[in-house]
Chains A and B, each alone.
Chain A
Amino acid sequence: MRLVLLISFAIMVALGAGDYVLLRALVRFLCPSCVGIA
């Protein structure tokens, strides 16, 4: 079970590796409406 999940998650990371750039852009991005700063 653990091995199957491990492989599945590793595949998901590999398939979604392109999202890394998007996520990197998200870090330190402060959504003004999210924290209520006008």
Chain B
Amino acid sequence: MRLRSKRLLAQVAAFAACNMGFVAATETGLVVPFMYCHGCPLASFACPIGALQHFLGKHMAPLFVVGLLGLAFLVLGRGACGWLCPFGALQDALMALARGKGPPSARLLEKPRLRSALLRVDKIARSMKFIVLATTLISSFILLGSTFCWFCPIGALFAGIPYKLANPGAKLGLPFYIHLFILALVLISALFVPRAWCRYICPLGAISGPFNRISIVGVELDEERCIACGACLRACPMGLTALSDIGKSVECLLCGRCVEACPQGALRMRMAVS
């Protein structure tokens, strides 16, 4: 089976697994290693960011959540974003709409005059997810609530909208429309910049990214085979710009698109315990 088919299968399976809550036995107290709102009417797992905020808001140490996430990220690194996350899969689908001409961000980067300025802005904007993470955790602790959830577009997509569909009589407040507006902004952004949410905002990506260097799953480069053609970097949805970043950078989703794109077979997915 091709890597692309495997990834699609994994994304569909993860989405299905998240929505098994209609079977009581599958309504678990476990967190998934990607963002998926536990307020979803069919949810079977808890959202890691939602759960972290919940415990911090109660001034409890979220040992169970941090431990589970740590174990998951030790195995997967940021691979859960590339292979499992339903919101990531949705962004991939949006990116596929721009296939052919390529996403507008990639076409702008081909212009030499704009390239360095755009890359600089992109680099600064990527640090936003760490600020979002820190702000979320601190504000939840101080304000005793799930502050990120007040704005989360994933919650709007997977919980707010389904809840409204299941309960047509439910009264909607202004925050619901703020959620929808943010969701629309994020999805429109994904049409212009692939995986815009994952690049700039996702607080969970800020946690899982650093695990790429030590995770069991990874991407390996055979330098002897590599002819530095750049096909891997052009295929990267996260816009990596250096070969050395593949599989190691905080930004790499370990999605394997670079592996598929390499004409020399110099890249491969690896599972290394030692």
- Tell me, yes or no, whether B43 is within 8 Å of chain A by CB: yes
Closest to B215 in A: A2
Contact A36:B64 (CB < 8 A) given known A2-B74, A6-B74, A28-B41: no
> Given A28-B39, A30-B41, A31-B149, 13 more contacts at CB 8 Å?
A2-B74, A8-B70, A15-B63, A16-B61, A20-B30, A23-B46, A24-B28, A25-B29, A31-B39, A33-B150, A34-B150, A35-B155, A36-B172
Is there an interface contact between B38 and A28, defined as CB atoms closer than 8 Å? yes
User: Does B71 count as interface, using CB distance less than 8 angstroms?
Assistant: yes
Residues of chain A with a CB closer than 8 A to B37's CB: 35
Q: Which residue of B lies closest to A6 (CB)?
A: B74
For B146, the chain A residues whose CB sits under 8 A away are: 31, 34
Describe A's contact surface by its main secondary structure: helix
Smallest CB-CB separation from A11: which chain B residue? B67
> Is the beta-carbon distance between A23 and B65 smaller than 8 angstroms?
yes
Set of chain A residues within 8 Å of B10, measured between Cβ atoms: none
Q: Can you list 22 residue pairs at the A/B interface with Cβ under 8 Å?
A: A2-B214, A6-B71, A10-B71, A13-B63, A13-B71, A27-B27, A27-B43, A28-B39, A28-B43, A30-B39, A31-B39, A31-B146, A33-B150, A35-B163, A37-B163, A37-B170, A37-B171, A37-B172, A37-B173, A38-B170, A38-B171, A38-B173
Q: Would you list the 5 A-B pairs with minimal beta carbon distance, nearest first?
A: A16-B63, A36-B176, A36-B175, A12-B67, A24-B29
